[in-house]
Amino acid sequence: MSPAASLVPVILCGGTGTRLWPLSGAIYPKQYWPLAGSGEETLLQQTQLRLKGLNQLGAPLLICNEDHRFIVAEQMRQIGVEPGAILLEPLGRNTAPAIAVAALHATSRGDDPLLLVLAADHVIQDGARFRATVEAGRAAAEGGLLVTFGIVPTAPETGYGYIEAVEPLPQATPGLGEPPIPTPTPIARFVEKPDAATAEGFLASGRFTWNSGMFLFRASAILAELERLAPEVVSCCRAAIDHDSADLDFLRLERESFANCPNVAIDVAVMERTGLGAVLPLEAGWSDVGSWSALWDTGARDSDGNVLRGRVISEGSRNCYLRSEHRLVVGLGVEDLVVVETDDAVLVAHRDRAQEVKTIVNRLASSGSPEGKAHRRIYRPWGSYDGIVEGSRWQVKKIVVNPGASLSLQMHHHRAEHWVVVQGTAVVEKDGVEELVGENQSTYIPLGAKHRLSNPGKIPVEMIEVQSGPYLGEDDIVRFDDRYGRSDMSLTVR
């Protein structure tokens, strides 16, 4: 008997999650936030961590927007995972190109692993049953079938696409608990989002599942079907990989070739047309976290039906989702509300209208409001900075530098800086002279001085920066050396 093929997770990190504004946005979307469970792991980290225990598990391939590359790398570092590769898309081209790129990379050295394709922003509450279901699909995938995981529906949802199996799905026996783990079943058809009456009929038939967008197949099998059914996708992706460039720990796909790739989902390109498709029902507490009301649905509610996160006090409130990122939020005698506080905006909405948040984001974008896409906290490869307060010729920031990280060697034409370290120990270089600056110590960076700050320690360095001068824009920088290879001053700072 031949050994089982290795199982390589392919985690798709695209998407902006605008229906979870003001927390999620284009600069820092929902997959990078801790939104579910009681811990501090983000949705991306939970996606990787729930795989622990699967047989022959390999290093993950992560596919993300190039603007999010340092966020992805840092979140994997935090949970002790070294990716097989982080592939950078120069622009979004949907799931078929992303999967094609992953399959081409996975087979580039002669291997042919199983690819477990997952979205980075899903919640799955029962990790053990999820892993058991994945293992149940392994034999079919090793045999060449393209397995998709269909979510056993809990309601006649009209917001999801459906998959019809050729046979009824196994049902739980009353009094005997959940049904056994099924095996993959041939697919009869895919159905777009139905109306309410049609969804009711789907639920009654016992043959339909929600389309989750998660898959299990051999890399060679999905490549062969893509070559047959969507050859342009493969040719463009192969060219993008052949001309990719290494960028630290990342592989940057060549822009022009990838831009020429059709913008198409894997369902449309392959799954709806192949004869190799099989659906494997998954019943493990799944949610795509598509709105604040979905987080209320899946969250741990108190005796009054409230989901409370952060600095929140609830008195006489019922069936609310109340979340604070910074300031105290108090819910007093309110019902069925979503209240989300962030550093730059506060959302107050009725739970039944939470899906409409996207229209507010569109209004903000059309008016050029910064709250539509960015947070006060800005992430960089070395850590983050947070604008606290500003005046006409001064501003104050909180800067966090990760262990082992370093800002670029730089200077400013229009501002001086005063740094006060409040946690950790920093090495500060000024005009070629280094000094150690510890907690409750400070240093002054004169206008025009060539300077850099590094963190040689084991804990993050936190410092308060006071800038003063006639111009405080982030484009006032001359960079002399940068370990992260950044050169575009208009897009990257420090």
Pick from 258, 283, 322, 219: nearest CA to 10:
219
What tens digit of pLDDT does each residue of 8-25 get?
999 999 877 788 999 888
DSSP one-letter code for 267: I
How many other CB atoms sit within 10 Å of the CB of residue 290?
17
One of 3.40.50.150, 3.20.20.60, 2.60.40.10, 2.60.120.10 is the CATH number of 377-481, namely 2.60.120.10
Contact 432, 388 (CB under 8 A): no
431 — pLDDT class (breaks 50, 70, 90): very high
pTM of the model: 0.84
Three-state secondary structure call for residue 46:
helix
What per-residue string of b and e applies to 28-58 under the rule 16 or more CB within 10 Å gives b? bbbbbbebbeeeebbbbbbbbebbeebeeeb
Alpha-carbon span 379 to 410, nearest angstrom:
18
Distance CA 134, CA 306 (A): 33
pLDDT higher at 439 or 5: 439
3-state secondary structure of 256: helix
Residue in 12, 9, 6 with CA at minimum distance from that of residue 266: 12
Query: To 10 degrees, the CA torsion angle through 456, 461, 466, 471?
Result: 60
CA–CA dist 280, 114 (Å, integer): 16
State pLDDT tens for residues 221-248: 999 999 999 999 999 999 999 887 776 6
92 vs 276, which has greater pLDDT? 276
7-287: CATH number: 3.90.550.10
Give the whole-number percent of the chain exceeding pLDDT 70: 94
Q: What is the pLDDT of residue 490?
A: 35
Tens of pLDDT, residues 240-280:
998 877 766 789 999 999 999 999 999 999 999 999 999 99
Checking if the pLDDT of 2 tops 60, the result is no
**pLDDT for residue 494 is more than 60:** no
Q: Three-class SS string for 184-224?
A: CEEEEEEECCCCHHHHHHHHHHCCEEEEEEEEEEEHHHHHH
The alpha carbon of 96 is separated from its chain's Cα centroid by a whole number of angstroms, namely 18
Which has more confidence, 486 or 290?
A: 290
Q: How far apart are CA 242 and CA 244, in angstroms?
A: 6
Q: Report angle CA 160, 345, 378 to the nearest 5 degrees.
A: 90
Domain ranges of the chain: 7-287, 292-367, 377-481
The per-residue b/e assignment along 241-258, b for 16 or more CB within 10 angstroms, e otherwise, is beebeeeeebbbbbeebb
Structure tokens at 447: 């206008």
